[in-house]
Amino acid sequence: MANTLPVSDEPSSHPVHDRELEAFRTEVRDFLDRVRELTSHASGRSTLERGRAYLAARFDAGLGAIDYPVENGGRGLDRRYTEAFRAEVSSRGFDLHASGFGIGLDMCLPTIRDQGSEDLRARFLRPGLRGDDVWCQLYSEPGAGSDLAGLTTRAVRDGDEWVVTGQKVWTTGANYADFGILLARTDWDVPKHAGISMLVLPMRQPGVEVRPLNQMTGVAHFNEVFMDGARIPADWVVGGEGDGWRMAVALLAHERSSIGSGGGRQPIPTDRIIDLARSAGRTAGPLVRQDLARLVTGTRIIQWLNLRQGIHPSIPKLWRSAQGRLASQVTSGLAFPGGAAWLGDPMGTTEPGDFTSADGSHWSYGICDSRAHSLGGGTDEVQKNTLGERVLGLPREPAPDRGLPFSQVPKNA
Ligand SMILES: Cc1cc2nc3c(=O)[nH]c(=O)nc-3n(C[C@H](O)[C@H](O)[C@H](O)COP(=O)(O)OP(=O)(O)OC[C@H]3O[C@@H](n4cnc5c(N)ncnc54)[C@H](O)[C@@H]3O)c2cc1C
């Protein structure tokens, strides 16, 4: 892969650097022109297939891992280049990042890049970045969501393999994933945070059963995952045995910053809601105008928060979550009675949740889906607890089980 541009950690407005950045933008625009066909709805291929084709082309063009080290298949470029890429993509109406590959690209792969062994990096980064492998995140369990460290999925060493037994839930994309980043308990005799390991689970094996969960949106994005004697090679541990909590937090930081900065589930876009208000003849109403102004303001605030370096990822995530709820509430009022209809609404039905094309989706899909913003990636309450404790320095929540060996912590039967 070509690496013709300089590596630098420090953004700079030096004229040479500006010229290099402009050359990079031109490279990105040329690439996007070349792959427009691949990403088009008109191709008739599924969202996943289009995403896979796009990612392969992007990786092969040297644009799939702009900020990854060169030895891991990347370009080793700084944040200005990833931002420039993002800006070019969004200015041309592409939205492929989230189409089934976001959990790998935004969460699992950066964690393996930063924390994984050389073998894991060599095995997983390239196929993940090219879209050859799809990833899911096996964290939440029926009894461990916000209290994630209370998880009870068990991994036991058996020769040169781990054997995994337990259940996960809410697992986005598990029904088409090749690999899952798994949190499992490997030691029950130490306090709960200390006995967890992060492993890479091959999803397509007899010990793994995936059952889709149908949502009120009419689609099944989530799944239950049952593991009964599932097998994992002994060295597919990210970070090290017992170091899973630290790995889990590192991955969650990637998840929250990706959600905050525009990855994953999207609020109904403000410009579509303004179009809706226009077509409903409602733009003169003072209350409608006020709502639209709040939406425009929220959109701007989120953009500006993302320009700030070093901001705690829970802050933009909370803003995104509030924006998602507000957008849904305003849309419900404007689209009524069509907002409640599932068929025959003005947006058509081609791709649930895809508001990027004129024939995007039901308003009702976006309205129902908006409840997920304040849950996925950690609930609003948990984000606020995190900000209170880690940013404001408030006292920590009481945790009577913190020092107890996990085997002695009272649990539901
Ligand atoms: C769209 C979406 C996608 C998801 N994708 C995945 C995925 O791919 N992989 C995965 O592993 N998980 C996934 N999840 C699960 C998600 O991480 C959990 O739903 C979330 O962490 C909350 O856990 P819970 O549902 O068990 O709720 P609970 O933890 O039971 O919380 C119930 C309520 O209690 C509140 N609460 C709990 N503890 C506290 C506290 N200490 N202080 C204040 N309030 C508290 C919560 O805020 C919430 O309102 C997804 C969820 C959604 C909605």
Tokens representing 277 are 């208000």
What's the pLDDT at 313? 85
* Residue 359 banded pLDDT, cuts 50, 70, 90: very low
For the CA of 173, the closest atom of ligand 1 is 8
* CB neighbour list of residue 62: distance below 8 Å, 6 or more residues apart: 1, 2, 3, 75
- Give the C-alpha distances (Å, rounded to integers) separating 147 from 128, 144, 191, 402: 29, 5, 14, 12
The continuous run of DSSP H or E covering 198 comes out as strand 196-202
CB 374 near ligand 1, within 6 Å: no
- Over residues 116-132, mean pLDDT: 95
In this predicted structure, what is the pLDDT of residue 350? 43
Residue 151: phi, psi to the nearest 5?
-65, 150
381 Cβ below 6 A of ligand 1: yes
- Amino acid letter, 351: E
Burial environment of residue 358 by CB neighbours within 10 A (0 to 12, 13 to 18, 19 or more): exposed
Q: What angle do CA 12, 13, 18 make, to 5 degrees?
A: 105
Q: Where are the alpha helices (DSSP H) in 261-387?
A: 270-279, 286-307, 314-335, 363-369, 380-386
Tell whether ligand 1 has an atom less than 6 A from the beta carbon of residue 355: no
Q: Residue 381 catalytic? A: no
C-alpha count within 13 angstroms, C-beta hemisphere, residue 165: 5
- pLDDT-derived band at 269 (thresholds 50, 70, 90) equals confident
Q: Are 72 and 62 in contact (CB under 8 A)?
A: no
Strands 135-138 and 179-185, how do they pair? parallel
The residue type found at 70 is: V
Q: What residues form DSSP beta bridges with 208?
A: 227
Residue with more model confidence, 72 or 119: 119
| Active-site choice (10, 255, 351, 397) | 255
Of 35-49, 144-158, 185-199, 285-299, the poorest mean pLDDT is in: 35-49
pLDDT tens sequence across 150-183:
999 999 999 999 999 999 999 999 999 999 999 9
Q: 317 C-alpha vs ligand 1 centroid, how far in Å? A: 14
Q: How many CB atoms lie within 10 A of CB 266?
A: 20
What are the φ/ψ torsions at residue 302 (nearest 5 degrees)? -65, -40
The token pair at 239 is 């970070």
> Is residue 335 scored above 80 in pLDDT?
yes
Provide the pairing of β-strand 196-202 with 222-233.
Answer: unpaired
Alpha carbon distance 373, 207 (integer Å): 32
Cβ neighbourhood burial of 343 (10 Å; 0-12, 13-18, 19+): exposed
Task: Write out the two tokens for 109.
Answer: 């792969």
Residue 406 has pLDDT above 50, yes or no: yes
Closest CA to 325 of 291, 359, 283: 291
Q: How far is the CA of 294 from the centre of ligand 1 (A)?
A: 27
Cβ 357 under 6 angstroms from ligand 1: no
CB 69 within 8 A of CB 76: yes
Q: What pLDDT score does 266 carry?
A: 78
Mean pLDDT of 226-247: 98
**How large is the angle between the packed helices 15-39 and 79-91, nearest 10 degrees?**
40
CA of 128 to the centre of ligand 1 (A): 26
Banded model confidence at residue 37, pLDDT cuts 50, 70, 90: confident
Residues 6+ apart with CB under 8 A from 279: 346
What percentage of residues in the chain have a pLDDT greater than 70? 86
Sign of the C-alpha dihedral computed for residues 167, 173, 176 and 182 taken in this order: negative
Minimal-distance CA residue to ligand 1 atom 50: 376
Q: What is the largest CA-CA distance in the chain?
A: 71
Is residue 97 scored above 70 in pLDDT?
A: no
- Whole-number Å distance, alpha carbon 217 to ligand 1 midpoint, is 19
Alpha carbons 269 and 49: distance in angstroms, whole number: 25
Instruction: Quote the DSSP letter at residue 390.
Output: I
Average pLDDT score over residue span 308-331: 90
Of residues 24 and 256, the one with the higher pLDDT is 24
194 lines ligand 1 (CB under 6 A): no
What φ, ψ does residue 259 adopt, rounded to 5°? -65, -45
* Average pLDDT score over residue span 90-97: 66
Ligand 1 within 6 A of CB of 299:
no
